[in-house]
Amino acid sequence: MNALKLIEQSSLKEQVPVLCIGDTVKVHVRIKEGEKTRIQIFEGTIIAKKHGGVNETFTVRRVAHGCGIERVFPVHSPSVEKVEIVRKGRVRRAKLYYLRDRVGKAAKVKEVIR
Domain residue ranges of the chain, discontinuous segments joined by +: 2-106
Can you spell out the DSSP letters for the chain?
-HHHHHHHHHHS-S------TT-EEEEEEEEEETTEEEEEEEEEEEEEEE--GGG-EEEEEEEETTEEEEEEEETT-TTEEEEEEEE-B--S-S--GGGGG--GGGG--PBPP-
Label the pairing between strands 36-50 and 67-74: unpaired
User: For 69-113, how does the pLDDT look when each residue is reduced to its tens digit (9 = 90+)?
Assistant: 999 999 999 999 999 999 999 999 999 999 999 998 999 999 998
What is the largest distance, in Å, between two alpha-carbon atoms of the chain? Answer: 50
pLDDT for position 16? 83
Q: How far apart are CA 40 and CA 106, in angstroms?
A: 28
Q: Please say if the pLDDT value at position 67 is more than 90.
A: yes
Q: Does domain 2-106 have CATH number 2.60.40.2700?
A: no
pLDDT for position 2? 84
User: For 4-47, how does the pLDDT look when each residue is reduced to its tens digit (9 = 90+)?
Assistant: 888 888 878 878 889 999 999 999 999 999 999 999 999 999 99
Q: Please say if the pLDDT value at position 1 is more than 80.
A: no
pLDDT for position 51? 93
